[in-house]
Amino acid sequence: MKTYQVNENGYYGEFGGAYIPEILHRCVTELKETYLQTLESESFRREYEELLRDYVGRPSPLYLARRLSGKYGCRIYLKREDLNHTGAHKINNTVGQILLARRMGKTRIIAETGAGQHGVATATVCALMNMECIVYMGKTDVERQYANVQKMEMLGASVIPVTSGNRTLKDATNEAIRDWCCHPSDTYYIIGSTVGPHPYPDMVARLQSVISEEIKKQLTEKEGRDYPDYLIACVGGGSNAAGSIYHYIDDERVKIVLAEAGGKGIHSGMSAATIHLGKRGIIHGARTLVMQNEDGQIEEPYSISAGLDYPGIGPMHANLSENKRAGILSINDEEALSAAFELTRLEGIIPALESAHALGVLNKIQFKTNDVIVLTLSGRGDKDMNTYIESNNKNKTENNNSNNIV
């Protein structure tokens, strides 16, 4: 049977694999040989499910957003990952990986972070499990996401500012990989999305797949069938999307629509629309689509949302796009902002800016009255309040100015 899941060599079609330095070969092989067996074992499942329930707060609700549905003329359900402990879906993955790390006898945890969300989710589970935690973060990001740095430090993590390259996520990831090369025996690297060398994309997708597992049950209760007509999610590296589609990926009744960050417009030179703009290449151990110039140098992505500006994309998603299994829409900054304000006023929910990109899709599709849509609200908007306030003030000023002219 044709499948969009990973094959035994770690590939999704032509994308994926493990392109790693020799020194990491043993680590990655060890992980590859351990992860499936552990994730499927009874004792792991018991501990993982208990923490998801009592610590993370799962299952997250599947909420029928009535006023939003009214506006778009269909039935829209929001999968409320914003209600999880630490405010987003990322904790599903870090809880799972720390349990795996412990079972592998590792004592030292490293992670990369861009906006700091994955760093906070990692520092959180390290506090919980009493493990040493080192988070690599670009110096630029340390400065602009200082609240998350303070949270990580309060949780007991060491945050190391990275000063190479553009001092952002890509450079932090390079530094984390460098650290792993120096400490292969005692260190476990918790990657924050469905990226990196095999088996990470598959492992992270499996740990996030609790999202679609729950959607199946919840839709059956609410709609009398276990699948929606549309699944919509935003993509940075691809983990909340992978989790949302995991159990539907080979079910062609379900249309998959993914939103990437268009920034100031795909052709503005300031975007993070990796699937639209990327060319085949290797980044952080995987063959995928990469934003790069003609010399193969990685181009710095831009988005108003700090969680979506990764210059690569998970190999699963590159393959879904290549085979037209998923529709990929680019949602720009302004569209995401206005979708965030719309949800806030219609439903009383302030979404994360990343999730607002998924909401921006609603405007771009002509739905039928009976269509059932499940849209994953990957996180809450507390961390984005400064951006929202700024944008609101700017709009007020513009409105006042135009009033003056009239």
Measure the CA–CA gap between 148 and 151, rounded to whole angstroms: 5
3-class secondary structure, 393: helix
Q: What is the token pair recorded at 402?
A: 């135009």
Rg (CA), the chain: 20
Instruction: List the one residue from 352, 356, 359, 373 that touches ligand PLP (CB under 6 A).
Output: 352
Amino acid letter, 228: P
3-class secondary structure, 260: strand
Written as one string, the DSSP assignment of 86-107 is GGBTHHHHHHHHHHHHHHTT--
Q: What is the token pair recorded at 59?
A: 């299952």
Neighbours of 276 (CB within 10 A): 17
- Does residue 236 touch ligand PLP according to CB under 6 A? yes
112 is catalytic: yes
| Total of residues contacting ligand PLP (CB under 6 A) | 19
Question: Which residue, 192 or 228, is less far from ligand PLP as judged by CB?
Answer: 192
x/- binding map, residues 152-191, to ligand PLP, per CB under 6 A?
A: ----------------------------------------
79 is catalytic: no
- Does residue 354 touch ligand PLP according to CB under 6 A? yes
Q: In what side-by-side order are the strands of the sheet with 187-189?
A: 158-162, 132-138, 108-113, 187-189
Stretch touching ligand PLP by CB under 6 A, among 65-73, 127-135, 233-241, 249-257: 233-241
DSSP state of 209: T
Q: What angle do CA 219, 313, 116 make, to 5 degrees?
A: 85
Instruction: List the one residue from 110, 155, 205, 235 that touches ligand PLP (CB under 6 A).
Output: 235
Q: Report strand pairing: 187-189 vs 108-113.
A: parallel
- Does residue 116 touch ligand PLP according to CB under 6 A? no
Stretch touching ligand PLP by CB under 6 A, among 16-24, 131-139, 232-240, 285-293: 232-240
Residue pair 170/259 in contact by the 8 Å Cβ criterion: no
Q: What is the token pair recorded at 47?
A: 């501990």
Stretch touching ligand PLP by CB under 6 A, among 32-40, 148-156, 231-239, 389-397: 231-239
106 is catalytic: no
**Residue 210: partners with Cβ closer than 8 Å, 6 or more residues away:** 52, 58, 92, 243
| Cβ-proximal residue to ligand PLP, closest one | 379
Residues 379-398 that bind ligand PLP (CB under 6 A): 379
Question: Which residue, 131 or 308, is less far from ligand PLP as judged by CB?
Answer: 308
Stretch touching ligand PLP by CB under 6 A, among 182-190, 234-242, 252-260, 360-368: 234-242
Written as one string, the DSSP assignment of 297-313 is PBPPP--SSTTS--SS-
Question: Which residue, 74 or 263, is less far from ligand PLP as judged by CB?
Answer: 263
In the set 112, 175, 299, 347, the catalytic residue is: 112
What number of H helices and E strands is found in the chain?
A: 16, 14
Instruction: List the one residue from 84, 97, 240, 330 that touches ligand PLP (CB under 6 A).
Output: 240
Stretch touching ligand PLP by CB under 6 A, among 24-32, 158-166, 230-238, 272-280: 230-238
x/- binding map, residues 184-203, to ligand PLP, per CB under 6 A?
A: ---------x----------
Residue 352 CB, nearest approach to ligand PLP (Å) = 4
Measure the CA–CA gap between 59 and 190, rounded to whole angstroms: 23
Question: Which residue, 307 or 311, is less far from ligand PLP as judged by CB?
Answer: 307
- Enzyme catalytic residues: 90, 112, 378
Residues near ligand PLP (CB under 6 A):
88, 90, 117, 193, 234-241, 307-308, 352, 354-355, 378-379
